[in-house]
Amino acid sequence: MLRTVTGINKRDYGLCLISGLLLSLPFSNPAFSLFIWFGFIPLFFALKDKKFLSAFILAYSTGIVFWAVTIYWLVNVTLFGTALLVLYLSLYFGFFGLILSAYSLKLKTTSLMFLPSVWVFLEYLRSHLLTGFPWVLLGYSQYLNLQVIQIADIAGVWVVSFFIVMVNTTIYSLFNLQPPVFKKSGKLIILPAVLLIAIFIYGFYRMNIPFYAGKDSSAKPVKLSVIQPNIPQGLKWYMHSRAFIMQRYFELTNNATKDNPDLIIWPEAALPVVLEEEPHYYLSLRDYIKSIHKPLLFGAVTFKDNLYYNSALLLSGKADLLKQYDKLHLVPFGEYIPFRNILKFLDTIAPIGDIARGKDYTIFEFPDNFGVLICFEDVFPELARGFVRKGAKFLINITNDAWFGKTSEAYQHMAASVLRAVENRVYLVRAANTGVSAFISPSGRIISLVSGEKGDSIFIQGHKTEDIYISDSRAKTFYNRYGDFFPIFCLLIAILSVPYALLHRLRKEGAS
């Protein structure tokens, strides 16, 4: 019955399955990053000549495949929550198909701007609605394709997503050209070709700027050591494992001190207690810091004014508390429960109780100005941008990806950090309980990782020390100054394209 009403056949669903897989594979393994440049094409063929309901169902089906394959790792935390999230996130695919159906894929030239604009604005909405979920934005798939992502310092990750959809649209349109094909194809590929050349020229230029490439002799070096302890998630808050946890941190830190770093970095919630409720662990940590005479940045759950916070704290080499940052963007259903009075049955998800939201963009001032992004805060472009605008000269992400097992999640997470480094042209250093702990240059190049003997970066313990560079004369990027103007620009393009499409259709009908 549904097939009769919607006009959808098995071929259409097969095309949607192929599209969902092609779009998701780059986020499972960056070796497949090329697939995303033509991943929409099967979906476009499935949507051809489809009415509103059919287009929505087909695009929504593609979204289910994409999200199920991409965030499958979330089942390690919650199966029911994963299913709900997949169903919700797939709506953005569904709306994309609905809008495409209303606009008509037959308008090939104008579609080169319209389709990417619609997609980018939908990604922007997804990143902000209901606290936001800016995970696996299309542009993140290219985090190892450095020449392509350099343009993010102008318009953010959004412009990379835009270009990906534009290339998909161009290829699809070439398949649908009517004779004379050569004459029409030349007109169709002019804009994408010019943009492609411009992006690669700009990327080559940016990657060869000495500071971005880590070759600026005038920049000040700062030596940082990151600690990756690989504490099993089941032991982190287990009372009898606290001594073991502290001992592992101390042993790894002892190894790092041999490199004589300016700052040692422990990951999120490194201290296995609430700081103020069991102060003897904090006192033990302070005694240790006094013995090694090295500053330490570490994560801990803190308690003040009857509220719990997910915090980052900086101790001097004399173990004085220099500054504390409280996490600004919390994980819904992980650190707090929205609508707790209504959803009482979900109380067990946050065992400590609601974590409170921090109030300020805290800038740490030693060994130089830097900002800290806790957990998944690095996936929010506006947060990294906010810290840099407040004066941060480099960024540190402390996190814990052990929740999700040996999956692609840790690498999807790191991909976002790469784009944050490029957008703001700062070094970004990651310290994770387990992978991926890394040093990332302002060009987005991954300088080094904490890795094991077999090259593994997750579920191994170790430390890594690297120099990063600070430039006091470095100007803020266009993106850092003006923020997310590009999604708004895309919205305007999408709105203005509608009357153009209607006028074009009326002219064709009048001519016939």
**Does residue 335 sit in helix, strand or coil?**
coil
Active site residue 375: yes
Exactly one of 327, 409, 464, 490 is catalytic; which is it?
A: 327
Report the C-alpha gap between 508 and 485 in whole angstroms: 35
3.60.110.10, 3.40.50.410, 2.40.110.10, 3.40.640.10: CATH of 220-473:
3.60.110.10
Cβ distance 154 to 479 under 8 Å?
yes
| Phi and psi torsions of 196, nearest 5° | -60, -45
Residue 70 tokens read as: 């991409």
Report the C-alpha gap between 354 and 341 in whole angstroms: 12
What are the boundaries of each domain within the chain? 2-209+484-511, 220-473
At 172-193, the pLDDT tens digits run: 988 876 555 555 666 778 889 9
Active site residue 16: no
Active site residue 327: yes
Report the C-alpha gap between 325 and 431 in whole angstroms: 16
At 410-444, the pLDDT tens digits run: 999 999 999 999 999 999 999 999 989 999 999 99
At 40-90, the pLDDT tens digits run: 999 999 998 888 899 999 999 999 999 999 999 999 999 999 999 999 999
At 91-111, the pLDDT tens digits run: 999 999 999 887 765 545 678
Whole-angstrom CA distances from 33 to 22, 23, 36, 143, 423 are: 9, 9, 6, 9, 20
Query: For residue 504, is pLDDT > 80?
Result: no
Compute, in degrees rounded to 10, the torsion defined by CA atoms 420, 423, 428, 431.
0
Average pLDDT of the residues of the chain:
90
Query: For residue 285, is pLDDT > 80?
Result: yes
Query: For residue 28, is pLDDT > 90?
Result: yes
Compute, in degrees rounded to 10, the torsion defined by CA atoms 203, 207, 210, 214.
150
Q: Which residues face 310 on adjacent strands? A: 301
Exactly one of 16, 123, 268, 466 is catalytic; which is it?
A: 268
Exactly one of 236, 335, 375, 423 is catalytic; which is it?
A: 375
Q: Which residues face 429 on adjacent strands? A: 396, 439
Report the C-alpha gap between 421 and 118 in whole angstroms: 26
DSSP E strands: which ranges in 238-391? 263-265, 296-304, 307-315, 321-326, 370-374
